[in-house]
Structure 1
């Protein structure tokens, strides 16, 4: 800027002579540039008159090109001589030491600004980058940062630039003080803060100062007051004091609480559309209540949602408080601006390279030519996101150009690979080491149909299964699954009673949606099972069963169940619940007429800042309805191990056989696993790793009438789950049995892994 002023001064001095007509234009000081480049930016040419106005215009234009560090205009007879100093070019640019701020994004943004090899050097740009870096470090709590920019001149009017960053230690919050609060305890108000003073807990990150986080905390603090009647509550000032060593910060917040306001009445104005009775049902603010800005905002949002569900896509509802200062009363006026009713002209999809348009369109709950419904659009997005071959979905609602009552809806999907070939090894206490292989395609030919072929080989069994699932066997969403399987097993678990089974079967199952969250399962199966016993190694119970019932059984089964599932994910969920009740019934005419009735439930309860409770429970009953028959031993329930009661050997709880005292299983089982999920001290999204403290309880009983709470086994401990890249889900647990009895088989450390890679 100083050189520009000097040039203008010189130009002013040059113009002390009389204006003249330019007969020739020359340039002095050129190094890399050609005279043609200067003429491109010069608003003068041969034949023009150079005077005070045109000279100043010429200098401004040449400086505006950004190519020159200094420009002067001189006269040599009738020739205009342009004396320039070119900006140096950058021969190299490096930035070192910036581990916390930067990376590839910083390098790209600096290159876009012109700070890169080959670009022209501008000192003011470098100074701006240095200041911005320092601002970002300060915003992230690094007040001890040292940033130095060095510019080294090179031959040929070039420079090399190096920025050295010494980040220092992050400045931590020593204490947060609140002043002026009378209505609420300081400890209660500080719970609203994401920032905290340094405490004894390891891996603490909440004490790292951030200006953005502090602003957010102050907004939450003000909202806390206004949600409890303190309409005029205000943060009057904030002091952030940095210690001389720049390693600690003290934050002091001064509050003005004001007085409590109550609601006098409420009313609706504007174009309400909905009848007042319906509007009143949506509003929770009523006369006599303490004013709450959150309640008022939530009520307005419910009215907007109700309007959007009947086509008013851009409805706005503003709760306007009309304050009576003398009586400290507030009249709430909900101003309704519905706009014009909108209809959906077109629904489109993008990103679906391998999926048919119809496969996505059948998930829609919002229809074309129908009034716009916000909830229907959102539900459509969720249904797309739950498809196994879709990774993510974004939705965009666009007004149609030239129309005030039409919108287009565009769903942008991100597909994941629908097919997989898996080969896996695994281990479980009940089955030992296992080898599995499967070929799966969840979006066969883009139709959304699922095809799966899988094989298994472990220390006690060999299995092969094939299945085909059509999720839209009918247009209204009834699914159909056809499957066939073969399984050859040595016993049921590794430690039971000396018999082999061979099973060959077919299943046909339909899934009938009853609502968005509830599904009815109904189907039929046919299977043939054969039992092989061994003299001297088969238990008395097995031998007696074979004597009474034979060794080959043909079974016709009716399979049904109902599931209610609101979980946000089926794997590593952290919200919602799942309840499933199922019944498998051996139909009349089967060699053994029995039923299997079971219930399984999951519930997720958020507690505090990533801490939540996962409760799992199950109850199962298997029995015959023919008095002269007995339940096949391969249909018995077993308990103990990672899936039921940790700390006890897999399948070891409950009834045992004679004379070998091996687990034999029972007809009735009840278990519960309660997991307190603890946020990991390392960065984790909670979708691939999980740490929890657990309490398990459960047991297997010979008959339902034998149930006794005193016989329930209990354990507590710690568990870690990790979805590994190669072994699939890895479960590790260390348990302490709480009421083991003589004869129980304790297994404190348990590991289970398996899956595909």
Structure 2
């Protein structure tokens, strides 16, 4: 076809909204007899016809031509489109977008990685995709924004597009990161009530100081906005209702190495609370609402207290079914007297009911095992506190690491919600097996299996076997936490032990103990439970002339060598911890009593009290306080205590830094650890947040101070005899060994004869 022989009239042109390169010519409408495409390289004519909203027999006019061009541009396949006429043939002349033959980013050490590469691939900037210049510009702008957000204001980003044969291009982005731009100084102007240092402490951004690895001196617009909000909150929480930030100047030095920030503030006057009232649909009794608010007449106005009061009212309403209640504290200002009347406007919405409760993520746990921990029930009114308590009960299960809850409105209903718990499980048990040799104990064979979620039921099994030269033992245990539907637990244990020592060193006697226990746990309230059960032990002792300690010989002379003991086991506990492992708040108090019943060959009791308290601190620090007191003694006409019932101290669970069980009285004449009737220990720990883990649910680092000892009789207690230690500890919930505890301690007042052991390790003890 020749242009001279067959003159063409270009028909439709360019839609201004696209601002592209299509041309517009005047034309007369005509009926399309044929369609031909020009300029195709990789694409086929069929592809063009697929996106072209015209066919043979259609009329081409100004309206249909605009629609055609829009459709072809919208396909993303072309960077230029023209519609031409050749007689009654529609000629579609296109310029295809080039394909990306390669794409590379170099020099982006601080920003990027696999996550950035995946994001670029999702955008369409990857090998084989069609090239669009606007996408490349967007990537360049986003990279620059991210570098600015991380303090790199000297960054240089250059994009290179290289044309290649067959309508392809190679893309390359070269990044020169430069040095981090740091905040040289932050100035606050206009403040007279609070000094600069006090206000600067409220900000997350800081001027560069001497501290290594400082990151708070990197300027970020988002962080600055947050800091200005903190500054405003600080003033408004102290009565300065009209506090205003008049201006903010951010100055970058010419070499882009330093930033100076100047904040100009207007403090205003202090406002006091004049009164409070409640409006809207309050639902609750006004006297009850007043008890929930802390904004009292005559107090200095605090935005924080007003907001927290509104939150407490919302929580109270949510506990009776109003899941989407909104309470807005509206300050009504008296400018003359500088007073504020707070109007709590209540919008309860409709009362909501729970349609369905579901669980996701529980691959190894039966649905019913989780559902029985629910305090929020299906078909019942929604209760925020019941839902939260249900979540906490899930996290307290030893095989659950984390539980998150989400409340979802039911589509098409304004009074129904669904509750979904997202479960993250932890290893439910540990398996340990070992074979070895010890000069003191000979060949060793040990095995232990612990599982806290047997077959997904939440039942616990324990089985252990140990065999060496001086001891042999078999222990079997089973616990069903829901023996009855209302939460009464049942525990059964069987054990057999042969031993030639009390704890670590032999006192010259052998003991064979066969026993069984049956114990029930009875919940008295959400936090309080009662323990009650029975136990039986059959004990045989064997002594040896010249090697048995005087204490053991005297006990045998008075009581013989064989004993049958029937025990009553009871106790009461209060537990409000938010997690079983690595708790961060709450407390545990447990009082137990094991009593050898009248009719037993020996009559004695073993009483103990244990307390744990967790106090959360700012910046994810936590204080953990542990204390215990144990006392064992005979009763009636018998004040003898079997040697194997004595208390021992020293080691990871009592006083770290001293060898396990080494503290307290020793036997005569050999000087081996023999234990005593009274044990007192206390541990204080400061839990330090780890940067490698944000939630602290599987690892924990702490600094500790331990104190304690064991005394032969309560009358022997002396504060000066309590051993002390300090050090650092690390705990890790491992996949196979259970809870692994490492500690390094410095004994602070060890005395002559004490056996110290600075580094100590235990594992599998967390269940």
Give the alignment's TM-score, normalised by structure 1: 0.91
Going from structure 1 to structure 2, the CA distance change for 1:318 and 1:466 (only over 3 Å counts) comes to same
Name which of 535, 548, 567 aligns with 1:557: 567
* 1:70 CA displacement: 1.6
- Structure 2 match to 1:286: 296
- Structure 2 match to 1:135: 145
Per mean C-alpha deviation after superposition, the further-off stretch among 284-293 and 355-364 is 355-364
> 2: CA distance between counterparts of 1:634 and 1:623?
13
SS of 2:403's equivalent?
strand
- Structure 1 match to 2:683: 673
* 1:8 CA displacement: 7.4
Provide structure 2 residue ranges, at least 5 long, that are not aligned to the other structure. Answer: 1-12
- Structure 1 match to 2:540: 530
Counterpart mapping for 1:679-718 below 5 A: 679-680=689-690, 685-718=695-728
Name which of 2, 14, 23 aligns with 1:11: 23
Going from structure 1 to structure 2, the CA distance change for 1:371 and 1:686 (only over 3 Å counts) comes to closer
Aligned residues: 752
Going from structure 1 to structure 2, the CA distance change for 1:562 and 1:730 (only over 3 Å counts) comes to same
Counterpart mapping for 1:177-192 below 5 A: 177-192=187-202
Per mean C-alpha deviation after superposition, the further-off stretch among 447-456 and 580-589 is 447-456
> 2: CA distance between counterparts of 1:725 and 1:443?
14
* 1:318 CA displacement: 0.9
SS of 1:577's equivalent?
strand
Deviations 1:9-39 (A, max 9, x none): 7632x42x55544433222211111112222
Deviations 1:512-555 (A, max 9, x none): 11222222211111112222333332211122212222222221
Check whether the contact 1:422–1:756 (CA below 8 A) recurs between aligned residues. no
Name which of 512, 519, 524 aligns with 2:522: 512
Counterpart mapping for 1:175-254 below 5 A: 175-254=185-264
> 1: CA distance between counterparts of 2:208 and 2:689?
19
Check whether the contact 2:333–2:340 (CA below 8 A) recurs between aligned residues. yes
Name which of 573, 580, 595 aligns with 1:570: 580
Per mean C-alpha deviation after superposition, the further-off stretch among 404-413 and 85-94 is 404-413
> 2: CA distance between counterparts of 1:415 and 1:679?
22
- Structure 2 match to 1:752: 761
Counterpart mapping for 1:17-36 below 5 A: 18-36=28-46
Whether 1:579 and 2:589 are equivalent positions in the alignment is yes
Deviations 1:138-164 (A, max 9, x none): 212233333333222222111222333
Check whether the contact 1:270–1:335 (CA below 8 A) recurs between aligned residues. yes
* 1:128 CA displacement: 0.5
Give the alignment's TM-score, normalised by structure 2: 0.90
SS of 1:589's equivalent?
coil
> 1: CA distance between counterparts of 2:360 and 2:754?
59
Counterpart mapping for 1:62-77 below 5 A: 62-77=72-87
Check whether the contact 2:398–2:580 (CA below 8 A) recurs between aligned residues. no
Counterpart mapping for 1:425-574 below 5 A: 436-456=446-466, 461-495=471-505, 497-574=507-584
- Structure 2 match to 1:320: 330
Per mean C-alpha deviation after superposition, the further-off stretch among 572-581 and 165-174 is 165-174
CA root-mean-square deviation? 3.2
> 1: CA distance between counterparts of 2:437 and 2:581?
20
> 1: CA distance between counterparts of 2:317 and 2:715?
56
Counterpart mapping for 1:1-400 below 5 A: 11-12=23-24, 14-15=25-26, 18-352=28-362, 355-400=365-410
* 1:744 CA displacement: 3.2
> 1: CA distance between counterparts of 2:678 and 2:433?
35
Check whether the contact 1:426–1:727 (CA below 8 A) recurs between aligned residues. no
Per mean C-alpha deviation after superposition, the further-off stretch among 77-86 and 40-49 is 40-49
* 1:394 CA displacement: 3.7
> 1: CA distance between counterparts of 2:495 and 2:574?
28
- Structure 2 match to 1:640: 650
Check whether the contact 1:668–1:702 (CA below 8 A) recurs between aligned residues. yes
Deviations 1:486-519 (A, max 9, x none): 2233312223523332222111111111222222
Going from structure 1 to structure 2, the CA distance change for 1:557 and 1:99 (only over 3 Å counts) comes to farther
Check whether the contact 1:727–1:753 (CA below 8 A) recurs between aligned residues. no
* 1:349 CA displacement: 4.2
> 1: CA distance between counterparts of 2:172 and 2:230?
42
Going from structure 1 to structure 2, the CA distance change for 1:679 and 1:11 (only over 3 Å counts) comes to closer
SS of 1:115's equivalent?
coil
Deviations 1:261-286 (A, max 9, x none): 11101111111111211111111111
Deviations 1:604-639 (A, max 9, x none): 233442333222211111111133341111111122
Provide structure 1 residue ranges, at least 5 long, that are not aligned to the other structure. Answer: none
Going from structure 1 to structure 2, the CA distance change for 1:311 and 1:675 (only over 3 Å counts) comes to closer
> 1: CA distance between counterparts of 2:52 and 2:585?
67
Check whether the contact 1:460–1:493 (CA below 8 A) recurs between aligned residues. no
* 1:86 CA displacement: 0.6
Check whether the contact 1:425–1:754 (CA below 8 A) recurs between aligned residues. no
Going from structure 1 to structure 2, the CA distance change for 1:374 and 1:687 (only over 3 Å counts) comes to closer
